[in-house]
Structure 1
Amino acid sequence: MADEPEAIFRSAEMTLIQLYIPAEISRESIYSLGSLGLVEFRDLNKKVNQFQRSFINEIRKLDNVERQYRFFKSEMDKKGIEMKETLFEDATYNIMKTSELDEIVSNAQLLEDRLSQLTNASDDLLKRQMDLKQYQQVLNSTDDYFQRTLAPDLLDLGDEQQVEFLENGGVHDANFITGVISRSKVDVLEKILWRVLRGNLFIKFTEIEQKMFDPKAKEFVDKSSFIIFAHGEVILQRVRKICESLDASLYFVDQDIKRRTQQKSEINDKLADVTNVLETTDRTVETELRAMSLELDTWWNSVKLDKSVYSVMNKCYYDLTRKCLIGEGWVPTDGLLKVKASLEAISVKFSTNDESSFPIIVNTIETTRTPPTYHKTNKFTAAFQAMCDSYGVATYREVNPALPTAATFPFMFAIMFGDLGHGFIMFLAASLLVLNENAIGRMKRDEIFDMAYTGRYIVLLMGLFSMYTGFLYNDLFSISMTWFKSGWAWPDHWNEGDAIAAHQVGVYAIGLDPAWHGTENALLFSNSYKMKLSILMGFIHMTYSYMFSLVNAIHFNSVIDIVGNFIPGLLFMQGIFGYLAICIVYKWTVDWVAIEKPAPSLLNMLINMFLAPGSVEEQLYPGQAVVQVILLVIALICVPCLLLIKPLYFKYTHDDGEHYEALPDHEASSDDSNNLLSNLNLDDDEEHEPHTFGDVMIHQVIHTIEFCLNCVSHTASYLRLWALSLAHAQLSSVLWSMTIGGAFGSTGLGGVIFTYIMFGMWFVLTVCILVVMEGTSAMLHSLRLHWVESMSKFFEGEGVAYEPYSFESVLAVAAE
């Protein structure tokens, strides 16, 4: 079997198919296609309300099952029971029989009824237990209060009065109210009572150490018991209403000490009984939930898949008279045989002897409708593809920007982040993610960590490329390394106080000579070098990106785009900025000291090329004035060419007022399928807006202005490569000198400790600031260079992403 063609340079070819599926095997057929994951179904029932479609009752039934499963999961979370999750790679997509689905629905209802009964009973018992515990606390606090007040009161009473006092519970007048209130409302209750009764009361609060359950808040809160003494039933009734308005629980406490003791005994017995029943109920609930936790995720996935099957069936047209399900969808052309083979296997497996039944029919349809864009990716290219798709999905069959981005994005990042040490830290972190990708892929990840894991290969290349550019810059944590013999030498003898100048004795093998490190003009040299290098990199990046527009025009056989857009645009860009790039390289090749001439300013040269054509103040090469005038004339001629060629071509090829009209979506069918349902119009034509000469002219004016201005602004935008590279190097140097660099001079035990502390500070700040923060900044700038400066040269981005019906994607979305 031949290998499938790749679809990374441009999107895969797509085919629109039409399916005729017998109703009795429609569910099994769609299930098979979901397992295959190659068909993007079109909604043929756009004008039909969602609640009026053929299979809405099945979806509602499964929605109810999912609601029941969510109830089970919430109860597990309350009990701290973890649900055993089924991993994507372990998931099975076996077709479930209708009887099995009905059994799942029935079992879910039975489990919900039983679990609801148990949880409701448990909640009622918990409330009863909390109520008895509060009653118990009130009785205990009341006894404690009476015992504290008993001894002083007896001192002033005779023997007969003491007996009467004890029989009344230690209180002369038993006008009191007891209860429990939330601790947060204690101050409120006290203030209200003092204001209402004008201080004619006595109130005492006792904090309850154990938290009590609040039925309204449905959580355990801190509470306090209270006892309130007042005179008169009217006043006591008013106090009760105030307490109840603050959600206080009131309890009757007998004034007689013997009866109160009996109350405590009865409450303790009831509390013990309720606690035993509650514990038994909770154990039963926990047992049920633990048994459920082992299978719940498997059940849930089965229900999700079956629900997605019915959702897809609702997108198809259901012919009741012929008992046939008709669907349409996009399929990659190279996957068409797989779709046919899968449906054929279903047709054979579930075939019946019914004479009215017919095999599954798959037709390919010729259409003018624009297919969706599908790029085949793997675990390496997926992150780069997602990066480009987040800006815009490529138009069908145009050049995919993700392919070159896989190389240029990390390299542009590395130019701004060039440091051998920092790149190694980033490369090491990404290597850990790559080497352990299978184990990490099974873990639950938060949003930030998932971004790092998804882009692990991007980070890996960014670190690797940064090590390469750091080697060229000769930067290792801002310290230069002598990898090869230096090309500069210092004089053997000099007088004290004289300025010392090195002389060149050779050429450094590769990269930046370490002799520049620490010199007075090091920053001036690196500034000039990196600034010009940034212009060159930008010119190369934009030029090869612009070449992709030629590739697109050739692929779509658009000669007018080559003549009217590409050629004038290329001449305009190369005549100005290509010329500047050549001058930069030429200036580097000339030894200006040897010829005893000052190096001319290229910026002034470019400005005078437009403001003073034909005059050159500082000549770079012989005949420079003539060359610049010719290039300027060519660039000026290209502007009206960009502006007029394409609109005039449209005017010439179309009569005045003629429009582009929308063509019918379906022109012909490769197989009339014995005229089965051939008269049924399921498709709505794709709408095409007509284009007039004015529309084309306005579009071309905008394109010309944008292109000419962008050539200037985009070239200048690449100077960010120089700016961020310089900033990174300087920040790294400052961080080194202010931390570990100043600690190396310390000696003794204190010096060791100080060096250890400074090293820790340097390492933490290096990782947090230079690697993470600076790395993020450089990454965003590299992303902008690709989205704006590069992709704008050729990328239309007017495509629609290919989203096939796939069980894997259904489960992935559900997991989020």
Structure 2
Amino acid sequence: MSDAIFRSADMVLVQFYIASEIARECVSVLGELGDIQFRDMNKSVNAFQRSFVKETRKFDNTERQLRYLESVIDKQHVPIVTTSYDDLIRKSTLDLEDLASRQPPTTSQMDTLSRVISDYEHNVREMADTYNDLLSRQFDLLEHRTVLQGTRSFFDARLSPDIVNESSELNRVRLSTDGDEESLLVEEEPLLDSRLQLEHSTSPPPPAASNEMTILGSSMNFICGTIDTDKYLTLERILWRSLRGNLYLNKVPIEEPIRDPATGEDHYRCIFVLFTHGSRLIERCRKIVESLDGKLFDVSPDYEEYRRQLVEVNDKLTDLDSVLDHTSERLVLELKEIALEIERWRIEISKEKAIYATLNLFDYDPTRRCLIAEGWMPKSDLSTVKSALRDVTERCGTDINTVVNVIHTNRTPPTFFRTNKFTSAFQTIVDAYGIASYQEINPGLPAIVTFPFMFAIMFGDMGHGFLLFLAASILILKEGAIAKMKNREEIFDMAYTGRYILVMMGLFSMYTGFMYNDLFSRDIPLFKSGWKWPSDFKEGQSITATQVGVYPIGLDSAWHAAENALLFANSYKMKLSILMGFIHMSYSLQLSLFNYRFFKSRIDIIGNYIPGFLFMHAIFGYLCITIVYKWSVNWIADNKPPPSLLNMLINMFLSPGYVDEQLFPGQKIVQVVLMLIAVVCVPWLLLFKPLALKRQNDTSIRLGYTDIHEASTADNTSLQTITTHGSSSAASTSTTAAMDNFMIEDYNEPPPIFDFGDVMINQVIHTIEFCLNCVSHTASYLRLWALSLAHNQLSSVLWDMTLKNSFVEYSKRGFAGCLIVFFIFGLWFILTVGVLVCMEGTSAMLHSLRLHWVEAMSKHFEGEGYQYTPFAFHDVLTLTDDSSAPK
């Protein structure tokens, strides 16, 4: 397995000849193994014209039925029994004995399962529809009862005789019986119960169905109902314009929201009563109300009729409640029975659908009556696949063996790195930028150390690192329970996926914080300081510490109290970032040498690696050596000022041979030699590879080939032919060998055409990029210094403005002061976690990501590969589980 960590696994293109009778069983076994990335053999065939489209549609419909059942189960709050995937999906330690015991259901069993699910769906849908209809009926009856109770005050209203006889009040009401444009009722006050007089007579009242009553001697029509509160003003405006003001409209709001059984949403509604003249106008009002989703109810102004209606509605509600309870019990019992098996059904249906979707990728050979499949797989798993297919053939009792041929081809295989739950997150970081070329060195392997370390240089604090480590450790300890959560919040899911990255970032941050001697911006005097302060001094006097030793490890705690601590930290961290950046880039450049040697590219070693290595080390390697040398010299003892390295580097190119402030003896000669090496490396990097390739191309043409690529292809083909002949004579029949040779010719891609102009242009671009990037990328690593300094200063300011001030001002105020300090500590902790750990941590992580993607990987990474995505039930079921999770 080590060959699939440092470099991608050796891949082979295999061809399967599978008998039609056992094709389904073979694909099922291959799905359990999860080793084959199948190619589409029917690219020219429409998706709706493939052989197994009928089966895939059938299981699509079954999945739809399962989704409906899950939605009803979730709506009724019935717990689903989760089925363990251990017996149904691929394990990391899968062997042939486990595989043989995991036989897929037969087609008849799957057909029976589909019918069972369909029957359950039909029964549940009928009961659910009945239950929803009953809920809607209950909803209407409850609204009807609310309207009956809410409108009673309208019809019980009476005006006293003195108010009726006052002419001023009578003048406020005008009657219209001829249907002109005058208002039927014009009121200055909106309240019906204070302005409306009901005319009584000895005759009985009109029937309730007529919705008529007599007002001031005139027969009036009215309707009652409910409407959404936010639509009432719209209704009022439309009615006023439609009836030209010939109406009287009043409302009573319903305080409690009404839940719609169809959508489950709460609606605030209000009761309205509308009076107008004539049946035609009433009919028009009915249509307007219904167009605005209003509901109309039969309400009688007569008290006895009202009592009868209210009793009737209450009786119906009582009967309906009992029916609802009975229907709900039946529905829940049915759903509980389904909930016991629905998870297993979903897994089986998803697997079966994936099998037929994969079979649609196969080609059918009518002469042999078999299916032909092709796909990429790791070479190390070839024997496992053959043994598994042989066991399927024996178990099914057929005499036709499944033929597995290895196809020799010059096609580029997919890139496959073996990962586990620890390394997969780091591999994802690299894959997000680009997929490594086939058998290129995996940048994800060194990123396991370099990514959290670069982060820690910017984030270095023992306290902040411990908080990050603690949070990540909790995610790791609870990963089993969290993995079963179907509806994880997006940001939390990102943190959970990268939990091992976070724990490494926390550990490295604790280490760098120890080296910086920082714990929440405070120093920890673990060892005796190497500096000694004078014992006698006056207040306000500037004093200077005397060096009496060397601090054993890390930054001396005495620097935290010094006035020039920031200047020292600036100088130290700036130079440290240059050193770390150079080491990181040099290490990455060394990986390019390993790639060139692996692919036997001597031209790239001489034309790219050597001049690039010399150019970068002649300038920036020299700068790093001078940084370390400057640190190692006691300039105070030598009574000399330390020279400026920035001026030294500038004068090295602008004034060759001139040294303003000497750093070491012989500096002039060394700098001139290094500058000449750097200058010579530029044309070397630019011209060697194109000219060497042109020379090889001319030699190939003289030998009779079209170009250098055809000569290389011919050499590889002759080697493959020898290998194929040897293996076929030992373990294959002549027919199989002939088929292999046929497939070799069929799957050889045409070689690219050599074009010296294209090669030259590419090399010019590479040379310019490399030379400029050496400067810009080295400067880019200064972000390590900038973010580390900003993080430390922000942490220090937060401490001083919160805890330090609280200790000074409130520590001597008794219990009240302690309480204030406690709340200020809570504020400090919240800001520390939210700002310094989360926000600053995210910023440092993104900067570390950029340093890996751009500054480091540009030195060796091609990233022209494509992902290895095998057909595996594990991946199919994971995707199905994510898509079926409630959002």
TM more than 0.5:
yes
Q: How many residues align?
A: 806
Aligned position for 2:435 = 393
Q: Which moved more, 1:337-346 or 1:182-191?
A: 182-191
Q: Deviations over 1:651-707 (max 9, x none)?
A: 101137836359699976655655269398796654654231111111111110011
Q: Which moved more, 1:648-657 or 1:708-717?
A: 648-657
Q: Is the CA contact (8 Å cut-off) linking 1:168 and 1:174 kept in structure 2? A: no
Give the deviation of 1:77 after TM superposition: 2.9
With over 3 angstroms needed to count, the CA separation of the structure-2 counterparts of 1:67 and 1:152, relative to structure 1, is: farther
Counterpart selection for 1:541 from 569, 575, 584: 584
Q: What amino acid sits opposite 1:175 in the alignment? A: N
Q: Is the CA contact (8 Å cut-off) linking 2:220 and 2:278 kept in structure 1? A: no
Aligned position for 1:132 = 141
Q: What amino acid sits opposite 2:833 in the alignment? A: V
Mapping of residues 587-606 of structure 1, within 5 Å: 587-606=630-649
Give the deviation of 1:214 after TM superposition: 5.7
With over 3 angstroms needed to count, the CA separation of the structure-2 counterparts of 1:171 and 1:697, relative to structure 1, is: same
Q: Deviations over 1:564-595 (max 9, x none)?
A: 11111111111111111111111111111111
Q: What amino acid sits opposite 1:522 in the alignment? A: A
What is the alpha-carbon distance in structure 2 between the residues aligned to residue 224 and residue 373 of structure 1? 66
Aligned position for 1:190 = 236
Mapping of residues 63-102 of structure 1, within 5 Å: 63-89=60-86, 91=88, 94-102=103-111
Aligned position for 1:163 = 202
Aligned position for 1:181 = 227
Aligned position for 2:465 = 423
What is the alpha-carbon distance in structure 1 between the residues aligned to residue 565 and residue 133 of structure 2? 80
With over 3 angstroms needed to count, the CA separation of the structure-2 counterparts of 1:678 and 1:7, relative to structure 1, is: closer
Q: Deviations over 1:712-741 (max 9, x none)?
A: 111111111111111111111111111101
Aligned position for 1:618 = 661
Q: Which moved more, 1:514-523 or 1:205-214?
A: 205-214
Q: What amino acid sits opposite 1:754 in the alignment? A: I
With over 3 angstroms needed to count, the CA separation of the structure-2 counterparts of 1:587 and 1:167, relative to structure 1, is: closer
What is the alpha-carbon distance in structure 2 between the residues aligned to residue 440 and residue 800 of structure 1? 31
Give the deviation of 1:259 after TM superposition: 4.4
With over 3 angstroms needed to count, the CA separation of the structure-2 counterparts of 1:599 and 1:254, relative to structure 1, is: closer
Mapping of residues 518-667 of structure 1, within 5 Å: 518-655=561-698, 658=707, 660=709
Q: Does 1:755 align with 2:798?
A: no
Aligned position for 1:39 = 36
Counterpart selection for 2:777 from 711, 714, 726: 714
Q: TM-score, normalised by structure 2?
A: 0.86
Aligned position for 1:327 = 373
Q: Is the CA contact (8 Å cut-off) linking 2:13 and 2:374 kept in structure 1? A: yes
Aligned position for 1:347 = 393
Q: Is the CA contact (8 Å cut-off) linking 1:401 and 1:795 kept in structure 2? A: yes
What's the secondary structure of 1:390's corresponding residue? helix
Q: Is the CA contact (8 Å cut-off) linking 2:136 and 2:262 kept in structure 1? A: no
Give the deviation of 1:127 after TM superposition: 3.1
Q: Is the CA contact (8 Å cut-off) linking 1:413 and 1:466 kept in structure 2? A: yes
Give the deviation of 1:412 after TM superposition: 1.1
Give the deviation of 1:268 after TM superposition: 3.8
Give the deviation of 1:18 after TM superposition: 1.1
Give the deviation of 1:796 after TM superposition: 0.7
Q: Is the CA contact (8 Å cut-off) linking 2:453 and 2:509 kept in structure 1? A: yes
Counterpart selection for 1:113 from 79, 99, 122: 122
Give the deviation of 1:21 after TM superposition: 1.0
Aligned position for 2:854 = 788
Aligned position for 2:735 = 675
Aligned position for 1:766 = 832
Q: Is the CA contact (8 Å cut-off) linking 1:660 and 1:690 kept in structure 2? A: yes
Q: TM-score, normalised by structure 1?
A: 0.93
With over 3 angstroms needed to count, the CA separation of the structure-2 counterparts of 1:341 and 1:150, relative to structure 1, is: farther
With over 3 angstroms needed to count, the CA separation of the structure-2 counterparts of 1:370 and 1:130, relative to structure 1, is: same
Q: Deviations over 1:544-565 (max 9, x none)?
A: 1101111111111111111111
Mapping of residues 231-630 of structure 1, within 5 Å: 231-254=277-300, 257-352=303-398, 357-444=399-486, 445-494=488-537, 498-630=541-673
Q: Is the CA contact (8 Å cut-off) linking 1:372 and 1:802 kept in structure 2? A: yes
Q: Deviations over 1:352-399 (max 9, x none)?
A: 3xxxx5211111121111111111112221111111111111111111
Q: Which moved more, 1:367-376 or 1:676-685?
A: 676-685
Aligned position for 1:17 = 14
Q: Is the CA contact (8 Å cut-off) linking 1:87 and 1:442 kept in structure 2? A: no
Q: Which moved more, 1:369-378 or 1:651-660?
A: 651-660
With over 3 angstroms needed to count, the CA separation of the structure-2 counterparts of 1:153 and 1:194, relative to structure 1, is: farther
What is the alpha-carbon distance in structure 2 between the residues aligned to residue 542 and residue 101 of structure 1? 57
Give the deviation of 1:272 after TM superposition: 3.5
With over 3 angstroms needed to count, the CA separation of the structure-2 counterparts of 1:80 and 1:536, relative to structure 1, is: same
With over 3 angstroms needed to count, the CA separation of the structure-2 counterparts of 1:257 and 1:706, relative to structure 1, is: same
Q: Is the CA contact (8 Å cut-off) linking 1:413 and 1:778 kept in structure 2? A: yes
Aligned position for 1:200 = 246
What's the secondary structure of 2:437's corresponding residue? coil
Aligned position for 1:726 = 789
Aligned position for 2:97 = none
With over 3 angstroms needed to count, the CA separation of the structure-2 counterparts of 1:328 and 1:229, relative to structure 1, is: same
Q: Is the CA contact (8 Å cut-off) linking 2:455 and 2:509 kept in structure 1? A: yes
Q: Is the CA contact (8 Å cut-off) linking 1:154 and 1:162 kept in structure 2? A: no
Q: What amino acid sits opposite 1:62 in the alignment? A: F
What is the alpha-carbon distance in structure 1 between the residues aligned to residue 130 and residue 207 of structure 2? 40
Q: What amino acid sits opposite 1:765 in the alignment? A: L
What is the alpha-carbon distance in structure 1 between the residues aligned to residue 407 and residue 743 of structure 2? 13
What is the alpha-carbon distance in structure 2 between the residues aligned to residue 126 and residue 431 of structure 1? 49
Give the deviation of 1:638 after TM superposition: 0.7
With over 3 angstroms needed to count, the CA separation of the structure-2 counterparts of 1:416 and 1:272, relative to structure 1, is: same
With over 3 angstroms needed to count, the CA separation of the structure-2 counterparts of 1:492 and 1:273, relative to structure 1, is: closer
Q: Structure 1 unaligned runs (5+)? A: none
Percent of aligned positions with the same letter in both sequences?
A: 53
Q: Deviations over 1:453-503 (max 9, x none)?
A: 222221111111111111111111111121111111123434666431111
Q: What amino acid sits opposite 2:132 in the alignment? A: D
| RMSD of aligned alpha carbons | 2.7
What is the alpha-carbon distance in structure 1 between the residues aligned to residue 848 and residue 774 of structure 2? 18
Q: Is the CA contact (8 Å cut-off) linking 2:411 and 2:747 kept in structure 1? A: no
Give the deviation of 1:84 after TM superposition: 3.0
Aligned position for 2:754 = 691
With over 3 angstroms needed to count, the CA separation of the structure-2 counterparts of 1:95 and 1:134, relative to structure 1, is: same
Aligned position for 2:58 = 61
Q: Deviations over 1:128-164 (max 9, x none)?
A: 33333333344444444322338879999xxx96533
What is the alpha-carbon distance in structure 2 between the residues aligned to residue 527 and residue 415 of structure 1? 14
Q: Is the CA contact (8 Å cut-off) linking 2:139 and 2:261 kept in structure 1? A: no
With over 3 angstroms needed to count, the CA separation of the structure-2 counterparts of 1:189 and 1:153, relative to structure 1, is: farther
Q: What amino acid sits opposite 1:145 in the alignment? A: F
Give the deviation of 1:786 after TM superposition: 1.0
Q: What amino acid sits opposite 2:203 in the alignment? A: E
With over 3 angstroms needed to count, the CA separation of the structure-2 counterparts of 1:754 and 1:132, relative to structure 1, is: closer
